[in-house]
Structure 1
């Protein structure tokens, strides 16, 4: 699934944003490193201050699902060979 990319308000990089449930048109930026990370922080794991921020998504939001190359065949009784109890 491809997620829409939105410019981070802090570092101005284009980052994927996942849809926020119950808030149409809003998305939460994925965690990402600041652009100056190597120079300022060395090997420490540091997130950009814009990570996980809720932002406006470009409209209209259309998620794209990728189709598998080959059809997946399921075994009878489910993938583990089990049957439903109820």
Structure 2
């Protein structure tokens, strides 16, 4: 999974894709960095957990580009004036 910087705690957190939204992901749940000092053993999530964020390049839609391929000098013609398909 790609890693994205959480806007709340500035840590790199894994982001899973969001169905129906290409290029978007949801941050995984993670603890704030100051959790042990402030909250002890309590389970507390960072406020940036489960936030929807933009994914890095692998989530982008692919684009088609034109490639200039050399054209044959003449097309092969079959016995009845037809061209081969394969």
TM over 0.5: same fold? yes
Could you tell me which residue of structure 2 aligns to residue 27 of structure 1?
Answer: 25
What SS does the aligned partner of 1:60 have? Answer: helix
- Normalising by structure 1, we get a TM-score of 0.67
**Match for 1:61 among 33, 55, 59?**
59
Separation in structure 1 between the aligned mates of residue 58 and residue 14 of structure 2, nearest angstrom: 15
Aligned residues, how many? 60
Query: Corresponding residue for 1:82?
Result: none
> Which stretches in structure 1 are left out of the alignment for 5+ residues?
63-86
Structure 2's unaligned 5+ residue stretches are 61-86
Residue 50 of structure 1: CA displacement?
Answer: 0.3
SS at match of 2:58: coil
Q: How much is the aligned-residue C-alpha RMSD, in angstroms? A: 1.3
Q: Which runs of 4+ in 1 moved over 4 A?
A: none
Maintained 8 Å contact 2:24/2:59: no
Aligned residue among 5, 8, 15 for 1:7: 5
Larger radius of gyration: 2
| Offset at residue 60 of structure 1 (A) | 2.4
- Of the two structures, which has the highest relative contact order with CA contacts closer than 8 Å and spacing of 6 or more? 1
